[in-house]
Structure 1
Amino acid sequence: MLIPLAVRDTVPTTVRGLRAALASGALDVHAVVEAVLDRIAARGSDATWISRTTPEALHARAAELAAARAAGADLPLYGVPFAVKDNIDVAGLPTTCACPDFAYEPVTDATAVRRLLDAGAIVVGKTNLDQFATGLVGTRSPYGACESVFGGDLVSGGSSSGSAVAVAAGIVPFALGTDTAGSGRVPAALNGIVGLKPTRGLVPTTGVVPACRSLDCVSVFTTDVPDAADVLAVLAGPDPDDPWSRTGTPTTPGTRTAVPAPRELDVDDGTAAVFASVAARCEITAEIPLGPLVEAGDLLYGGPWVAERLADLEAFLEARPESVLPVTRMLIERGRDFDAVAAFRGRHRLQELRAWCARIWEHADVLLLPTVPTTFTRAEIAEEPVARNLVLGRYTQFANLLDLAAIAVPVGTTAAGRPVGVTLFGPAFAEDRLITAAHELAVREAA
């Protein structure tokens, strides 16, 4: 199908922009498909994708949607293309978890993917990730290491590296990631986009290969906050097939903001300056110590929760140890260092930290933190792959352990041109509050 170049070049790269253009008739869904294919071709071999839907299948999907729409179907995401992290099942495409020997062919879609398809969205393909979703750097993959869209050899962040780059590069308006330790927020910060990490269990994880089963979340990448809200509205809801699925009462909006005391913040100078500027425009009602948050986050890789990663992968690691990257295998096999006594001790300490965290919301509606303390190049990560990975997760790893919702938003760059993002945290089921606060923050940043 021949699509005029003038049309391809003006296809919007946001969910709402694309929906409006399709609703008005200014765009045809086949033109959207062609625009995506052109953008992928223009990027070349950038390590974003592991597998892709064929052009023929994309156009067949476009024709199917056009017919359904003509018949009166309600399709809130009609014609919107999206990408899926390759630890989430899409029927017809292999699930690899960035480990070729682990690959399998799912016969059904993950619940999150199926909900998006039922809403009229189009799966473009499966994206690269840190192997088995273990890492925050985006370099732990045999399929290559995505570079941040900011260039300069900067890491894209992980583990949802390819999904973040696909959105930040303007290939698709939104993408699915997962977020256990920060994988839906670190890549957002390092690519200048929005990363929404819902409350654990709000979006079903049926059809998601577990990383740390009790903490895993499906996350959403978009270029702006309203798009993230629209996608979450389709994804959220209970799933009888997911034993971790749950619902709760949404929290009311509020603008009271907690921040760390300046002496508590351990970030580079450029990030510190941008963060101080953002905080100055917020309604600060509390300053908190960061020690309890960091301690909670340290339980994920330095405590017994690392054994939960081993629990799901032990059989594969024992059968095919050579198939797993050495750094990934080393991190997962640390789970053997913890016994049941250590697990209970960790669980008891976590309960104390959760009680401490709950008191934050007596004085504030949201907690504002830098998403990452600094940025690294791919060469720097290669020098210290474990230590620098932990630095990137300093202000993200505690979120799921403490049962928080979070949204990461871009707030500009340092004087040296490095990306800076901040994250707003709230208690479980505070998505509406966080989306409202993040939107207001974006408005203030643009003013």
Structure 2
Amino acid sequence: MIVDAPCVGPSVAEILTSHESGTGSPTRTAARVADAIAARGDDGTWLSTVPREALLAAAAEIEGRPGARTLPLYGVPFGVKDSIDVAGVPTTLSCPDYAYVADATAPAVRRLLDAGALYVGKTNLDQFATGLNGTRTPHTIPRSVYGGEMISGGSSSGSALAVALGQVPFAVATDTAGSGRVPAALNGVIGFKPSRGLISTVGLVPACKSLDCISVMAGSIDDVDRVLDVMVARDDGDAWSRDRGPRYDGERVRVGVPPVGELEFFGDTDMQAAHLGFRNQLDRSHGCTEVSLAPFLAAGALLYQGPWVAERLVEFADFLAERPDSIHPVVREILRSGEKYTAVDAFAALQRLQELKATVARVWEHVDVLAVPTIGTTFTVDEVLADPIGCNTKLGHYTHFGNLLDLNGVAVPLGVTAGGRPYSAMLLGPALSDDTVLQVAATLLDEPRTAPLGSTDHSARIEESA
């Protein structure tokens, strides 16, 4: 049964109102965050944090900027997954022997800092961002806020926990195969994976560079919107960078769902019942159209059962050869599995993926958004440690295909099952339909959407106040 639940703290909007009105301040918020983190101790959420006095000093610096109160994220605290660079801070990827001190801040994070956000620290992850469960770390293994020794999910385990614990209103994560959406589902928060290229990945140590996305964890769609409005920007240093798509046009959104017989819950009847209950409500509100999940799942199978696992060796092959004992055993096994693939395998897989992309493209002629479970079941830490590959594959059943098929997606928390475990729906859309997908998510959460993606150009305000 449920032991705990998310305790999401003040939203971005609430923090801004407090800071702008003077009822609160960035330094007071910084003190609250530092105290909350200290009170938890080492629970596997953070790998490093800014020391309390330094955090207060950084907050005071933000307060002293000209025009500070007009900044879009004035004094709002946030965490960064420890695979993304922050100047002067070690980037470790949860592998101490791999660590280096970054000499520049990733552009996506720099935009947040320029917008007045307050950097708190680096969050835990599955080592080398390889995993969806949160147990592949030499540090403290994090647990879900729902208790019961349930995994936190990964690889962005700490980013989800930092938000679910109410320590920060948003955290920067990544999502190559579900790394942002799975931990969001397991901790009852929102995990948004934008279309590839909308947020610069410069300064991110790549897992699979052709698939990587920087993503956002938050407690509300409004918070996601506000953060994306700052982070989304073209970057000529990122070969995958592209402009955002159109905003939601106000028209009826056509929602697709897989036939019930194609859904997989791995024997978890509670999760199945919860999702089917949600499906019934969704059909009443949107009149859903059935869409086969087969081509999506076929694409997902290519990720770890095909040559894309070899792409991780572009970044980590030398370290694997020189320091194999420094790598978590499961991660080491996965990296080595990439060594068996040939160029012929890669081209065959690329051709097969292109065929599947063509099939999926026809799906979007009939629906705008596809609704599926984010995860089909949950696991305890012990269950994952006993079967690390099998459990991980099940966790990625609905997420592995996302970036291969160039989709965007959001994990939407919907409550708990009859047994007290979290369940979440995932909304998926074709590339650059991000705003429409977020609109449907806001509707599901009965959340007014006052700051849609791209509604305001904050860049000028950032430059004027810098």
TM-score w.r.t. the length of structure 2 is 0.91
User: Structure 2 CA distance, aligned partners of 1:206 and 1:120?
Assistant: 21
Give distance in 2, aligned partners of 1:76 and 1:12.
Answer: 19
Q: Superposed, which structure 2 residues align to 1:230-269 within 5 Å?
A: 230-250=226-246, 252-253=248-249, 254-267=252-265, 268-269=268-269
Q: Which amino acid aligns with 1:228?
A: V
Which moves more between the two structures, 220-229 or 290-299?
A: 290-299
Partners of 2:227 and 2:418 lie apart in 1 by 33
Residue 317, structure 1, aligned to residue 320, structure 2: yes
CA RMSD in angstroms comes to 1.6
> Match of 2:31, SS?
helix
Q: Is 1:60 aligned with 2:57? A: yes
What do the CA deviations read for 1:50-80 (whole angstroms, capped 9, x no partner)? 11111122112111111115x4674100000
What is aligned with 1:113?
Answer: 109
Q: Which runs of 4+ in 1 moved over 6 A?
A: none
- Alpha-carbon separation, structure 2, partners of 1:44 and 1:407: 30
Rounded to whole Å, the distance in 2 between the matches of 1:429 and 1:414 is: 32
| Pairing 1:276-295 to 2, within 5 Å after superposition | 276-282=276-282, 283-295=286-298
Q: Provide the residue aligned with 1:7 in structure 2.
A: none
Q: Following superposition of structure 1 onto structure 2, how do residues 127-166 of structure 1 map, counting pairs within 5 Å?
A: 127-166=123-162
Structure 1 SS opposite 2:288? strand
Whole-angstrom CA distance in 2 between matches of 1:249 and 1:227: 19
Q: Secondary structure at the match of 1:363?
A: coil
2:413 is the counterpart of 1:410: yes
Residue deviations 1:230-254 (CA, integer Å, cap 9, x gap): 1111110111111221225326454
Aligned partners of 1:251 and 1:429 also within 8 Å:
no
Aligned equivalents of 2:27, 2:300: Cα separation in 1:
45
User: Could you tell me which of 433, 440, 443 is aligned with 2:443?
Assistant: 440
CA distance in 2, matches of 1:232, 1:334: 36
C-alpha distance in 2 between matches for 1:248 and 1:20: 28
Q: For residues 386 and 310 of structure 1, what CA distance do their matches in structure 2 show?
A: 19
**CA–CA separation in structure 1 for the residues paired with 2:365 and 2:294:** 19
Q: After superposition, what is the alpha-carbon deviation per residue over 1:190-228, rounded to whole angstroms, capped at 9, x for unaligned?
A: 000000000011100000000000000000000111111
After superposition, give the CA deviation of every residue in 1:263-309 in whole Å (9 maximum; x if it has no partner). Answer: 11111211222212222222133212222111111111110101101
Q: 1:346 aligns with which of 341, 346, 349?
A: 349
Amino acid corresponding to residue 325 of structure 2 in structure 1 = E
Q: Deviations over 1:21-62 (max 9, x none)?
A: 111111011110110011112212101111111112211211
SS for the counterpart of 1:410 is: strand
2:30 to 22, 30, 33: 33
1:367 corresponds to which of 366, 370, 388: 370
**Identity level (%):** 52
Q: Distance in 1 between matches of 2:46 and 2:156?
A: 11
Q: Is the 8 Å Cα contact of residues 19 and 78 (structure 1) preserved in structure 2?
A: yes
Question: How many angstroms apart in 2 are the aligned matches of 1:313 and 1:415?
Answer: 43
Give the aligned partner of residue 97 of structure 1: 93
What amino acid is aligned across from residue 280 of structure 2 in structure 1? A
Determine the C-alpha separation between the residues in 2 that align with 1:133 and 1:89.
14
Runs of 5+ in structure 1 lacking a partner? 1-10
- 1:178 is aligned, of 150, 174, 177, to 174
Please list the CA deviations of residues 345-394 of structure 1 after superposition, one character each: whole Å capped at 9, or x if unmatched: 10011011111111121111100000000000001101100000000000
Pair 1:27–1:73, CA change in 2 (3 A) = closer
For 1:74 and 1:259, the matched residues in 2 are separated by 42
Aligned-pair distance for 1:431?
1.1
Per the alignment, residue 193 of structure 1 pairs with: 189
SS of aligned partner of 1:281: helix
Deviation larger for 203-212 or 57-66: 57-66
Q: Is the partner of 2:331 in helix, strand or coil? A: helix
Unaligned runs of 5+ in 2: 1-7, 448-466
Please state whether the residue corresponding to 1:165 is helix, strand or coil: helix
1-side partners of 2:174 and 2:68: how far apart? 33
User: Secondary structure of the equivalent of 1:213?
Assistant: coil
* Paired residues, number: 435
Q: Secondary structure at the match of 1:369?
A: strand
